[in-house]
Amino acid sequence: MESTLGLLALSPPGWGGTLLVGLWASIQIAVGAFGLGLLIGLGGAYGKIYGGPVLRDCLGVYTTVVRALPELILILLLYFGLTDMVNQLMLALGYGRIQISGVLAGIIVLGVVQGAYATEILRGAILAVPPGQIEAARAMGMPAGKIARRITIPTMLGLALPGLSNLWLIATKDTALLAIVGFNELTLATRQAAGTTKAFFTFFIAAGVIYLAISLLSTWGFARVEAWARRGDPPRVSGAR
């Protein structure tokens, strides 16, 4: 027990500090990727519903391909592809090669993956907004942006939040995949600590507890936000479907 606590201590003989640095990187990437995914998803959902046929088909290809391929392969393809493309662009423009920071690459790569799922979730939620509400807003002469901000998004938020909550949990867990491209987030930091000290169970279970705490906390948080977003909904009558 003493030695376990010693291993997890924050200062250098213990590895707790290393784990926390990894945790911070994981959280940064998860938040960034989720945010980017939401932006892509909102644009994608509006594009799929109101866009022209070409835009709709292109978005269809994007969401289908991303959801059909393993995240790991997408991450590798995007990770290598993105760095290559940026570097070729930089060379063509006469600059030297640059190294894209791990956090930025992770956010972009996971954000593109999350965007595909968010598109589908938000599209379903927007379609569930009663069309009469949007027609009424249009009849009042509201511009499209204002309709989105005042009518569509507040109404669909309650419907979209359960799906978005799942998506956020996937985002936190998918950050672990970046360990495979050598990015030092929580899972890789854990493996380094475990490999060096040979205390495999201690560190992997510690990391598991951290991930679990994040997931339980965010489930609770999302439930609160959903209750807030649904505050204007009519009370649901039990038994009626």
Partner 1 sequence: MMRALMQPHRIVMLAVAIGLVLWIILGGNWSWLPKYAPMIGQGIWRTVWLLVLSILIGFALAVPLGLAQASGPRYLALPARAFCTVIRGTPLLLQIWLLYYGLGSLFPGIPWIRESDLWPILRQAWPYALLALSLSYAGYEGEVMRGAFASVPRGQIEAARAMGMPRRKIFSRVSLPLALQSVLPTLGGEAVLQLKATPLVATITVIEIYAVASRVRQDTLITYEPLFLVAAIYLVLAGLIVLAFRRMEGRQPRRTA
Q: Does 91 bind partner 1 (CB under 8 A)?
A: no
Shortest reach from residue 173's CB to partner 1, in Å: 4
Question: What sign does the dihedral 187-193-198-204 (CA atoms) show?
Answer: negative
Q: Does 31 bind partner 1 (CB under 8 A)?
A: no
Those residues whose C-beta lies under 8 Å from the C-beta of residue 52, and which sit 6 or more positions away, are none
Q: Does 132 bind partner 1 (CB under 8 A)?
A: no
Q: Does 207 bind partner 1 (CB under 8 A)?
A: yes
Q: Does 190 bind partner 1 (CB under 8 A)?
A: yes
Count of residues of this chain found to bind partner 1 when the rule CB under 8 A is applied:
39
Q: Does 240 bind partner 1 (CB under 8 A)?
A: no
Q: Does 85 bind partner 1 (CB under 8 A)?
A: no
- C-beta of 38 vs 207, nearer to partner 1: 207
- C-beta of 9 vs 61, nearer to partner 1: 61
Shortest reach from residue 26's CB to partner 1, in Å: 10
Q: Site mask, partner 1, residues 45-64, x = CB under 8 A?
A: --------xx--xx--x---
Q: Does 216 bind partner 1 (CB under 8 A)?
A: yes
SS (H, E, C) the chain: CHHHHHHCCCCCCCCHHHHHHHHHHHHHHHHHHHHHHHHHHHHHHHHHHHCCHHHHHHHHHHHHHHHHCCHHHHHHHHHHHHHHHHHHHHHHCCCCCCCCCHHHHHHHHHHHHHHHHHHHHHHHHHHCCCHHHHHHHHHCCCCHHHHHHHHHHHHHHHHHHHHHHHHHHHHHHHHHHHHHHCCCCHHHHHHHHHHHHCCHHHHHHHHHHHHHHHHHHHHHHHHHHHHHHCCCCCCCCCCCC
- C-beta of 122 vs 214, nearer to partner 1: 214
- C-beta of 231 vs 236, nearer to partner 1: 236
What number of CA atoms fall less than 13 Å from residue 3's CA on the CB side? Answer: 4
Shortest reach from residue 200's CB to partner 1, in Å: 4
- C-beta of 81 vs 130, nearer to partner 1: 81
**Binding footprint of partner 1 on the chain (CB under 8 A):** 53-54, 57-58, 61, 68-73, 76-77, 80-81, 169, 173-177, 179-180, 187, 190-191, 194-195, 198, 200-201, 204-205, 207-208, 211-212, 215-216
